[in-house]
Amino acid sequence: MKLDHTFTVAAAPDDAWKLFHDLGRVAPCMPGAVLDTLDGDSFTGRVKVKIGAVQMSYRGEGTVTREEASRSMRLELSGSETRGAGTASATVTATLAAGADGTRVHVRTDLDITGRPAQFGRGIMTEVGDRLVQQFADRLEDLLRGDLGSGPEPVAAGAEPEAVDIGAAALPVLLRKAVVPTAAVLLTLLLARAVRRRSRG
């Protein structure tokens, strides 16, 4: 599953790129994520997600490579559920470029996921991803501005991540997709009822 997201941060490209070198500060900007260890270009961490009343925790590892000339960062990620058979792996490439309002960040994700989250399908996962990326962008911008009061608080290694509610993010999408079929069913029922009334009259 390939996902593309773009957002703009109100900061100069050099400042944004400098921050992207510091995973210890950037990682807490991602909803539901905790960075446990960081050793050079390798790291381990955890992500907790919530779908309704069900919570899932993933533990994984990753590596990062950077291309200074193009201001591009590539993450290779893999993980598995701590209590379950679900797995997730992804290659994430973030490219920074100068934009009219600051720095434009394009994120391309090649995602392979199994287990319960996979049931949403590509369309819903894309829109859920849009919402999560927007939260990430807002937190990143707060961090770039030095506004730590509204930005993410530092998370100690080993701390429990706060679950990101994927179900809440997906609900508006599910409801929107259900509007047309539901309206069609209701219209059919109303027409059938009207026909029955006329036939009785």
Per-residue pLDDT of the chain (201 residues; tens, 9 = 90+): 888 888 898 889 999 999 889 888 888 888 888 889 999 899 999 988 776 667 788 899 999 999 999 999 999 999 999 888 889 899 999 999 999 889 999 999 888 888 877 776 777 777 777 777 888 888 888 887 775 444 445 444 555 666 666 665 555 544 454 444 444 444 444 555 554 565 565
Torsion sign over Cα 93, 140, 18, 34 = negative
Alpha carbon separation from 72 to 78, 107, 127, 137 (Å, rounded): 20, 10, 24, 17
Q: Would you state the pLDDT for residue 154? A: 47
Tell me 161's DSSP state: P
Length of the chain: 201
Given a contact cutoff of 8 angstroms between Cβ atoms, the answer to whether 57 and 48 are in contact is: yes
Q: Would you state the pLDDT for residue 123? A: 73
Give the whole-angstrom CA distance, residue 168 versus residue 111: 21
Residue 77, both tokens: 């990620």
Give the whole-angstrom CA distance, residue 11 versus residue 17: 10
Give the whole-angstrom CA distance, residue 134 versus residue 136: 5
- Identity of the residue numbered 72: S
Q: Would you state the pLDDT for residue 140? A: 82
Residues 6+ apart with CB under 8 A from 154: 28
Total domains present in the chain: 1
Q: Would you state the pLDDT for residue 43? A: 93
β-bridge pairing 72-81 and 54-67: antiparallel
CATH of the domain at 118: 3.30.530.20
Residue 133, both tokens: 């990326």
What range does the domain containing 54 cover?
A: 2-200
Give the whole-angstrom CA distance, residue 162 versus residue 33: 8
Given a contact cutoff of 8 angstroms between Cβ atoms, the answer to whether 163 and 49 are in contact is: yes
